[in-house]
């Protein structure tokens, strides 16, 4: 690992052929501008460039443990909400980066604390954390907001999404789009069932970022809960309670176009 932080850039690519070709081209162009691209991930780098789609971006953030090194993405995938730069715009991107023609955006995360009868576990998500039943079984959950009982939920599950995650699984499940700079969490039901025994909200609810969302499975469902964080599955035995908050930890992303968010919404969804 080199000790010279300046001019070091990590290039992180998935194994897709087009991504690998784009990454090689990018590395050649960065080297030509006197940047150092290490063969392995360097914790002293000034920037992480992720080549691929949104999935590649999320995997990189999790793999490198929500590093404080800023990210920017080159999109060789389909959706590209996190991946702002097109492969044909690499030269323009490098020039703008050298000239510091960008802003640094902070991306809020969601943190969950999973309490079992014996332990406590902690998970962080960029887009969302989902509570579902194993093998797609219906789950029964008590949901509280800052200790206030909200609902006795019955259905396929609950999504707790961040603002940046509002356009992902949340949106496809009927949730609202939330602008990324807003400090909020969103609770979105998955196939809610309302009956005399269970009263479930049929729409999403957006709550302030300084509150705690608590989900408690009914005792007979303690071992049938699946937790999915940005597509990664986790299983814990004897879950008694799960708390969701917005942590102080954030990740940073470079934005080279102040209109990118609205352009993305229009081009991806309309």
3-state DSSP call for residue 56?
helix
Other Cβ atoms closer than 10 A to 229? 19
Residues classed as catalytic: 54
CA 48 from centre of chain: 16
Categorise residue 7: left if φ over 0, alpha if ψ from -120 to 50, beta otherwise: left
CB-neighbour burial class of residue 129 (10 A; exposed 0-12, middle 13-18, buried 19+): buried
3-state DSSP call for residue 73?
strand
CA dist list (Å): 200 to 71, 141, 205, 213:
38, 10, 12, 16
């Amino acid at each position: 690992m080199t000790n010279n932080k300046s001019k070091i850039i990590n290039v992180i690519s998935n194994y897709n052929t087009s991504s690998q070709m784009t990454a090689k081209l990018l590395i050649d162009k960065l080297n030509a501008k006197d940047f150092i691209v290490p063969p392995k991930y360097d914790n002293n780098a000034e920037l992480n460039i992720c080549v691929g789609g949104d999935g590649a971006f999320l995997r990189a953030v999790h793999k490198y443990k929500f590093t404080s090194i800023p990210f920017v993405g080159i999109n060789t995938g389909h959706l590209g909400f996190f991946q702002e730069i097109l492969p044909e715009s690499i030269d323009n991107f490098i020039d703008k980066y050298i000239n510091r023609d960008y802003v640094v955006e902070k991306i809020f995360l969601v943190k969950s604390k999973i309490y079992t009868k014996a332990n406590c576990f902690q998970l962080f998500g960029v887009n969302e954390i989902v509570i579902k039943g194993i093998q797609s079984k219906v789950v029964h959950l008590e949901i509280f907001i800052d200790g206030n009982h909200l609902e006795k939920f019955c259905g396929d599950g609950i999504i707790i999404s961040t603002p940046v995650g509002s356009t992902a699984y949340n949106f496809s499940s009927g949730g609202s789009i939330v602008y990324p700079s807003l400090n909020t969490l969103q609770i979105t039901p998955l196939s809610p069932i309302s009956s005399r025994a269970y009263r479930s909200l049929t729409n999403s609810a957006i709550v302030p970022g300084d509150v705690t969302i608590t989900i408690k499975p009914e005792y007979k469902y303690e071992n049938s809960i699946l937790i999915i964080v940005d597509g990664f599955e986790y299983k814990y035995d004897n879950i008694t309670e799960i708390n969701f908050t917005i942590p102080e930890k954030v990740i940073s992303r470079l934005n080279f176009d102040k209109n990118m968010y609205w352009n993305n919404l229009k081009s991806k969804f309309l």
